[in-house]
Structure 1
Amino acid sequence: MKTLSRQWYALVLSALVLSFSALVGCGGSSSGDSGPDVVNPDPDDDNDNDNDDDDTGGDDNDGDGDHTAEPLTCDNPTYAEAMNLRIYQVMTESFIDGDPGIGHGVGYGTSHHSGDIRGIIDSLEYIKGLGFNAIWLTPVFDSVPLSGQDLAADRLDATGYYATNYFAVDPNFGSMDDARELVETAHELGLYVFFDGVYGHFKNNAEDYPSIDGQTVSTGGASVAGTGRIAEYPDDLEFFKEVATYWVEELKIDGWRLDQAYQVPLDAWVEIRRAVEDASASVTYTNADGEAVNPLGYMVAEIWKGEADIAAEAYGSDDNPALCSAFDFPVRYALVQALAVEESGANNPSAARLRSGFNSYDAYPDHAIPNGFMGNHDLVRFGDLLQRGDIADPQEDLYWARHKAAYSFLAAYTGPITLYYGEEIGEEVPDYADQVTANCADQGLCDDHVARTSGKVEGLPSGTEREVFVANEKQAELRDYLTELMELRAAQPALYRGERTAIVAPIDVAGAFYADYKTYADDAILYLLNMSDEPIETTFEACALGSTGTLTNLLTDETINADEEGQYQIQIPASAALFLNVESPTEDGPGCTTSDGPVGSGPLAACDTPDADGTGPLASDMYIRGSYAGGDGFGATPSDRRFGYKGDNLYQVVVNEPSATSYGFKFANAEWTYEFAVAGSADVVLGAEQAMAVASGPGTESSIDIPESGDYVFSFQINDALDGGTMMVSQCAE
């Protein structure tokens, strides 16, 4: 929809690279030095016996191009309402055991493996009480055992991600009546219900279970996960259109999370989405307000890749939109890198890194509506990532403060958000932090499933011993804070629907101070986050915050007023956030006009130094490689960011930045044999000479904030040992 286009974002932030490798054993593998992130391209292939459905197996289903459809729009009530979605995700088999008489009994992860639909029904009031308005449950379709199948296949069946009968409920999870009760009860409470749609692969015996209309799946797809195979399009299109519409019409579910959406071609997604929206318009249910409403019809793609692939394999183009929403993996990795570590252990604890994730949006079409999240059933829990990075343990206050910081970021995120069960109480896997590779599946400790712990819901039995769960003081405090955030978000459209402008923090706190200005209609809210472990006190000019009056804390009602000099004194505790209502916004929004920019002095600040002969002591062309727009997530070596050698070990390049921006970068050659950044991977201080050091491997880049458009000179002077030196980024004086 046009009102959600990336032109909303006044500050274009830098792109996040996600490096991919085939899933081997129990998790992803490192990608070398081309970027900071490591992700698993096969999130729901849980067969950890080297039968993994990886991206080398031909599972990117491109179809044959024979199917065409009229363009659909995302500018409709479904996706306007979707902006306000606060989704709570549960892993059905590991969540709550509501019926001890059923259950798979085996699975991946450390849970009881006996979760069921009854357990979800019993938890709905709890989920509603947390402030969520939707629930997504992992697949509940029947996975019929094959004759003589092994333990790995039994475990995979428990996940539901390789289904046999798409028109029946797995009896280990419950019955069709249970599923109907779940949806109806959720609707009565004001919760949307999303099922998990696996339309790109299925179990080998799925061909023996036709649809209600007698359609069957294809039989020629590539083998995957030992007991499954890839769907074939267009052959399977009509079958999965019937699946997608059957559950909307039969149970009146509100839409689908779309597993491994890259396995289905875009033209097929157009037809499936059209069918879901038509089916949703054809039926009604009574909501919590007693109104007859249509199912929402929301669909969100899971493509565990970088922004270019998400754009190509989910969103399509502006002229021919496919899906409207996809999970925001680029920003997720920016979030965990900034506040904890990602699964590989890489991190970059700077405000610029957190901001830089949003520049991935530059790769998306205008209709894209990313869904923000922090974790899911395929990722390591945030609490375990804090421990993996030796940042904080559950016994430390910082552990809980970092959780609160992450949740505050999601609360201020424009667009739908999703939280994985257990995160509200800071769940972690005891005695687990470092990645386990040897025999991880049998221990339930592989990175791609370790988060599937037994659900813990206040007052309900949990775990293999079925002890009634009671939150401890820290868990209850975190849960209450999350609830407060969700209620605040629901009441403030500027948070979930607002146009976002990044605030440039004062230099003294720039590395640790993240700030956004969110506007919608006549409302303006400042979201301020202290990412450091120490309290911050700093001063903002009124114009920098876009305010001419009082700032009111939306959580405490405390007020902050400018002093006689027109400055605001801002104080934020360690790892904490403020949500400030701007009572009197300026007409032009945040930002102070200055006569000059962040201009340095000396040879490193000169923008007109002539080139010298040769390539200098490095004997190699050097580039600014980074996550800027057009940088291909550290992969590109564009000529307009190639350094010229100026003599005396000095390298410089003048870059025209067309707008304010923020990104991560290194000075590196094409082969990655040289990599440099600010010493300690610190942020750039514009106009200041800084020490430069070798920065090898992912997560070692520096971040930079560009406050306004203009020409900027990037300079470094290498030492004789070729292992460091000095550097500067300066705006060119007019």
Structure 2
Amino acid sequence: MTSTFAFPLPFGAAAQADGTTRFRIWAPDVSAMQLVIEGDAPVPMQAVDGGHFELTAPCIAGSRYAFVLPNGQRVPDPASRAQDGGPHDMSVVVDPRGYVWQTTGWRARPWHETVIYELHVGALGGYNGVRARLAYFAQLGVNAIELMPLGTFEGQRNWGYDGVLPFAPESAYGTVDEFKALIDAAHAEEIMVFVDVVYNHFGPSGNYLAAYAARFFDDTKHTPWGPALNFIEPSVCQYFIQNALYWLFEMRVDGLRLDAVHAIGSDAFVQTLSTCVHDEIAAREPGRRVHLIFENEDNAAGLLARTSAAQWNDDFHNALHVLLTGERDGYYADFADDPVAHLARALAEGFAFQGEQIERLGKHRGEPSSFLPPTSFVGFLQNHDQVGNRPFGDRLTALADPDALRAAVALLLLCPQIPMLFMGEEWASVTPFLFFTDYRGELADAVRKGRREEFARLGAATEAAVPDPNDPETFAKSCLWPGEDVSATANDWLAWYRGLIEMRRTWIVPGLPGATSAGVDVLNAHALCARWRLGNGALLVILLNLGDQRVVIDAAPYSPTGVTLCQTPAHAIHDLSTGTLCAHACVAWLEEPL
């Protein structure tokens, strides 16, 4: 089996075995294009089909290069595999055959086994820093890490959603080979790696495409982040489809999380991308598993069915957040009327909103989703958005009762939806995760001003109090600090997470294929009982009370039988025998098959 992997991109810089490199770029708006290799004079490129320019030149891996427009402006390769710094610097020729993979037989895990851990690579010390934590992740029990976007952005600090060169892993985190070594080592630990990709916009700095390929953008539409991408143009579709295939085949990642699919504005493109991914896998590496995850505010259940993708379930999170914190501002207002009913529907049918009118937005949201399996949905209590888009980046540990949070964690890790953790939550980290960038001048002023005005308008904070995203200290405060996870409290939380993940792996995962909802009983404004018939015939039952008052219930239908998976607090099952579901409780059990 091959130990090197190179995906044949139809554009960019392709290193050849004879010591030359073929350069190709789509630039339909200019009549001429030159190539400059560091240390040499610019050389004219040849105009070829469909607005492309091409040139094969003596050039080895590691060489720096750029394209030169007719006005003399130098621009990076939009398909650069590596940058010598940021998006304003020169691109670097990479020969992917130079990295020898050690885990060539890895085929990834079945989706239903997945337990995801979302993380920011920079906040964990770069590619090598994440690699150093792999043994810890394996011990925790997570078997997939989801990396926030890696495409090259301006500066040294960014969430990643401002990337402008999506083929070039961010150099501030390490080299391309160090990134590949991270993937290789994760596979050796039998841990999958998912990468968050942004196909709905480019960042505000370092995007030169409009200077030579204005058709990349649709000026009639705008996203919250700038001009919309033009997916009517075949070259744009091809660019992003090739990017997806590049991450999967050359970088060997196990799946992609597509950011803000609703902002792409083209379900046809998303479906085509999915088809291309699955077709290429079948043709190139039959038997290899690849997983797609969407973030999609539209709750488009039909799109999930057509693409075999799963979706971040914001409805699951939002209902639980309101129950745990009582917050009702912003989008939490959509769940404030009856959060336990919204949670019940999310547990039973996937989405809480399946076409209902959202008064805050003035439109309908969602599609019927009960036909989808529970594993089509990714549940979470925290993620980068839900923490970092708060003015002070505070986590649930600072917002919720710890006993109620413990019960919610049990629901997350034992219900059939695919669970996702956010870095540090497993030891109840109090380290904030703030919004950070590394801009200068007017752009830095605009980002700072816009963020502070937004939170002041919402009444969440005074303008002066909101941390400056461009201050290096804002990033430093967001990094998990060594030793934070070794206190008695941290150890107690870690034991809770590890125990629940092990229970899930042992008792629930084997029955997830074919699992269906068996109904949810709402017991009061804070409590419910959810049931699922697993594919192996067993009945999974979870009783939950996130309120601070006990609930009187009929003991007979809510008495655990079979295998008890968890109880919190420790006297919860005893109280059930007396017809009481105590405060801040979660009791889960598995009844034998019929």
TM bin (shorter chain): 0.5 to 0.7
In structure 1, the partner of 2:381 is 374
Q: 2 CA distance for matches of 1:451 and 1:327?
A: 25
Q: Select which of 368, 374, 383 maps to 1:364.
A: 368
Conserved 8 A contact 1:413-1:495: no
Question: Is the aligned partner of 1:141 residue 2:151?
Answer: yes
Rounded Cα–Cα distance in structure 1 between residues aligned with 2:343 and 2:166: 40
Please state if 1:162 is matched with 2:162: yes
Quick one: structure 1 residues 435 and 274, their matched pair in 2 at CA, closer, same or farther if it must change by over 3 Å? Answer: same
Structure with the bigger RCO (C-alpha within 8 Å, sep 6+) is: 1
In 2, Cα distance between equivalents of 1:485 and 1:300:
24
| Correspondence for 1:524 | 539
2:14 alignment counterpart: none
TM-score normalised according to structure 2 size: 0.62
Cα pair distance change 1:134/1:263, threshold 3 Å:
same
AA at the equivalent of 1:527? I
* Distance 1:127-1:440 versus aligned 2 partners, 3 A rule: farther
- CA deviation digits over 1:442-467, x for unaligned, max 9? 44599xxx9995343xxxxx2xxxx5
TM-fit CA distance, 1:417: 2.1
Q: Does 1:484 align with 2:499?
A: yes
Kindly state the Cα deviation for residue 133 of structure 1 after the two structures are TM-superposed: 1.1
User: How does the TM-score come out when normalised to structure 1?
Assistant: 0.51
Q: For structure 1, list consecutive stretches of 5 or more residues without a partner in the other structure.
A: 1-77, 98-115, 146-153, 285-292, 457-461, 588-734
Contact 2:394 2:432 in 1 (8 A): no
**How far off is 1:172 after superposition?**
0.5
Matches of 1:283 and 1:559, distance apart in 2: 55
Using the alignment, how far apart are the partners of 1:510 and 1:385 within structure 2?
Answer: 33
Structure 1 segment 488-503 matched on structure 2, within 5 A: 488-491=503-506, 492-493=508-509, 496=512, 498-503=515-520
Count residues with an aligned counterpart.
431
Q: Equivalent residue of 2:199, what SS?
A: coil
Letter in 2 for 1:454: S
Question: What do the CA deviations read for 1:644-670 (whole angstroms, capped 9, x no partner)?
Answer: xxxxxxxxxxxxxxxxxxxxxxxxxxx
Q: 1:167 to 1:561 in 2, by over 3 A?
A: closer
How far off its partner does 1:219 sit? 3.9
For residues 216-365 of structure 1, what are the structure 2 equivalents within 5 Å? 218-222=215-219, 229-235=227-233, 236-264=236-264, 265-282=266-283, 294-303=287-296, 305=297, 309-311=298-300, 315-316=302-303, 321-322=306-307, 324-342=309-327, 344=329, 347=336, 351-358=340-347, 360=351, 363-364=367-368
Show the counterpart of 2:463: 438
Query: Shift of the alpha carbon at 1:89?
Result: 0.2
Q: Secondary structure at the match of 2:116?
A: strand
TM-aligned CA distance change 1:440 to 1:193, over 3 Å: farther
Structure 2: distance between partners of 1:417 and 1:424? 12
What is the alpha-carbon distance in structure 1 between the residues aligned to residue 139 and residue 431 of structure 2? 25
Partner of 1:428: 430
Deviation, 1:473, is 1.7
Note the C-alpha offset of 1:339. 2.1
Aligned to 1:96: 124
Alignment partner for residue 575 of structure 1, among 550, 568, 584?
A: 584
Aligned to 1:454: 478
Contact 1:195 1:253 in 2 (8 A): yes
1:84 aligned residue: 113
Q: What residue identity is the alignment partner of 2:368?
A: Y
Label 1:118 to 1:338 Cα distance change in 2 as closer, same or farther (>3 A).
same
Distance 1:226 1:381 in 2: 17
Q: How does 1:592-631 map to 2 (within 5 A)?
A: none
- The residue type equivalent to 1:421 in the other structure is M
Instruction: Within 5 Å, give how 1:120-135 maps onto structure 2.
Output: 120-135=130-145
- The equivalent of 1:598 in structure 2 is none
Give the structure with the larger helix fraction.
2
Contact 2:380 2:421 in 1 (8 A): yes
How far apart are 1:429 and its partner, in Å? 5.3
Q: Secondary structure at the match of 2:161?
A: coil
Q: Work out the CA distance in 2 between the residues paired with 1:158 and 1:317.
A: 30
* Deviation string, structure 1 residues 561-600 (Cα, Å, up to 9, x no partner): 99xxxx95465553121112224x6x5xxxxxxxxxxxxx
Secondary structure at the counterpart of residue 187 of structure 2: helix
Identity of aligned residues (%): 19
**Aligned residues of 1:355 and 1:514 also touching (Cα < 8 A):** yes
In the alignment, residue 314 of structure 2 is paired with which amino acid?
Answer: F
Structure 2, unpaired ranges of 5+:
1-106, 355-366, 435-454
Deviation at 1:554, TM superposition (A): 2.3
Provide the alpha-carbon RMSD of the alignment: 4.3
Partners of 1:385 and 1:528 lie apart in 2 by 33
TM-superposed deviation, 1:272: 0.8
- State the Cα distance separating 1:220 from its structure 2 match: 3.3
1:408 CA drift (Å) = 1.3
User: The residue matched to 1:436 in structure 2 has which SS?
Assistant: coil
Name the counterpart of 1:113: none
Superposition deviation, residue 367 in structure 1: 4.5
Contact 1:525 1:582 in 2 (8 A): yes
In 2, are the aligned partners of 1:374 and 1:382 still within 8 Å (CA)? no
CA 1:129–1:337: 2 relative to 1, 3 Å = same
Seen in structure 2, the aligned counterparts of structure 1 residues 383 and 130 have a Cα distance that, compared at 3 Å, is: farther
For 2:412, which of 404, 410, 419 is the aligned residue?
410
Aligned to 1:674: none
Does the 8 A contact of 2:319 with 2:340 survive in 1? no
Q: Determine if contact 2:382/2:421 at 8 Å carries over to the other structure.
A: yes
